[in-house]
Chains A and B, each alone.
Chain A
Amino acid sequence: MVLSNPTYNDGMARTALEGYKSGNLTLILFKPNSTPQGTWAYYIENTHGCNGYLRNTSAADGDEARWLAYLDVGTYMIQLTCGKDSDYGIVDVEIDGVALASFDCYAAAPDPQSTTRDLDNVVATSGVKQIDLKVNGKNGSSTGYKCNLSCLEIRRQT
């Protein structure tokens, strides 16, 4: 693939690599690059965000799915669209093994497409990152560790 230098309206010269800095990342969670723990499958279901969700069918604490993507140094908003229910766990977003944002997927009544955001998450170095969604415990009211994950958005704040 040949990448040409993009044109910028600030007049600054950039290399092709700089031009393709990552500032916004949207992952439709159809297929992880790997699954360090648990068994996962994608369910087509049009009542959920993005018409489906990735579920940990193993439904165990510590279940983990991993994606690889490039991120630049910066401060990011992390937004997770997922299902919530009475037997769902807490899902952490980890970047290179560091937990940045945490999303409690418990709800007393089913909510198939909840969207929650977490601000001011710092990525200290640029590069290809391991982005993990990991079940990390559960709400005291929850009866299980399930998660139904539809979409992860990582958007640059600064």
Chain B
Amino acid sequence: MKVTFFTPAGDVEIDTDDVSDEELQRLGVSREDIPRPVPSIYDIEARLRALEEKSA
């Protein structure tokens, strides 16, 4: 599953099934505290893009 972290250098996407302990430590989370993937309905920008494409 893919999960996104927001950082000053930009978004960092990790694969929760294939992420190292070092990477998790750098992101400040333990393996037990990895956020669950956010449903796409939360992605307002993607929904706006889809509406624009639909109305184009």
Contacts and interface: CB of A to CB of B under 8 A. Distances in A.
Considering residues A39, A41, A52, A59, which has the most beta carbons from chain B within 10 angstroms of its beta carbon? A41
Given A36-B8, A57-B27, A44 B36 contact: yes
| Size bin of chain A's contact surface | 20 to 34
A30 B38 contact: yes
A61 to B, nearest CB: 14
| Size bin of chain B's contact surface | 10 to 19
Dominant secondary structure of chain A at its interface with chain B: strand
A79 B26 CA distance: 32
B44 A65 contact: no
B42 A41 contact: no
Contacts of A44: 35-36, 38-39
Interface of A: 28, 30-32, 34-44, 52, 55-59, 65
